[in-house]
Structure 1
């Protein structure tokens, strides 16, 4: 599916890390290995309801030319529930792919593109009546 979305395009790969106030936005060796060449893009305070539990989210970004299997180690880490908050998008933000352990969300630019992808990959969809 990723080749279908991004073949021959430049893409942005976004990963996230979290820290408590006062802690630097430091990445582990594994995070740097799984997302090489990434740079800190932005940091923000998460919307935690408990004021005693404040957490910052740090988003890291890199832009690469899409090639088959180019981020497979990162995707495996997501599938294994080691990494979270990964987004792959074209540089125009017209197509987003958000993998998570157990599946992925695909956000397309318009409903006709969405409907066409749904038809091509209907066997991948949930059998739940609401599509969940």
Structure 2
């Protein structure tokens, strides 16, 4: 993944921008850090999970299956963000609190913040999530290279959200967690794509 493949304007841009984005997150999602796999816990009433392939198959094996995966990702992203700007947040996971060097799939000067995702008495088992963000205009297909890497588990923990952080799309290898503004909005989206839901009673 290269920066050029999904270039956008770095979102925070400065200490002031970083702080503003953090304040906005804490106002919208006060019960959770911006760590994708944690969001469904405190916000289950506005959360829905869609699987990427029929019969909940996890990983695509040919171009036909990649087309299905990207089609499902893009369909939901279009319904959430068509005609608007989005923040694309990509993390680097480390066992240390120091901000790592920019990774190939992250923008220059796009560092947002670092959070302790998993604590442990032994520092070697602590997990830090260092978040980088860009702001860009959403267009169907504009993040396909990144989403393909997510589907292959080469990148984990991505968040795609509107610039007011009201709606979140968190793709992972196997599907996407989506958080909406109200249970009613969640239900409408879930009902439109009922064939993409898990048969698991908890929706996982």
Q: Distance in 2 between matches of 1:11 and 1:73?
A: 16
Per the alignment, residue 3 of structure 1 pairs with: 78
Higher strand share: 1
TM-score normalised by L of structure 1: 0.87
1:74 aligns to 2:146 (yes or no): yes
1:105 aligns to 2:177 (yes or no): yes
Q: By how many angstroms is 1:129 displaced? A: 3.0
Q: By how many angstroms is 1:50 displaced? A: 4.0
**Coordinate RMSD, CA, aligned:** 1.8
Per the alignment, residue 94 of structure 1 pairs with: 166
- The number of equivalent residue pairs is 128
Q: Pairwise mapping of residues 55-66 of structure 1 onto structure 2 (< 5 A)? A: 55-66=127-138
In structure 1, list runs of 5 or more residues that go unmatched.
Answer: none
Q: Distance in 1 between matches of 2:79 and 2:109?
A: 24
TM-score normalised by L of structure 2: 0.58
Q: Distance in 2 between matches of 1:90 and 1:119?
A: 22
In structure 2, list runs of 5 or more residues that go unmatched.
Answer: 1-75
Per the alignment, residue 47 of structure 2 pairs with: none
Higher helix share: 2
1:15 aligns to 2:87 (yes or no): no
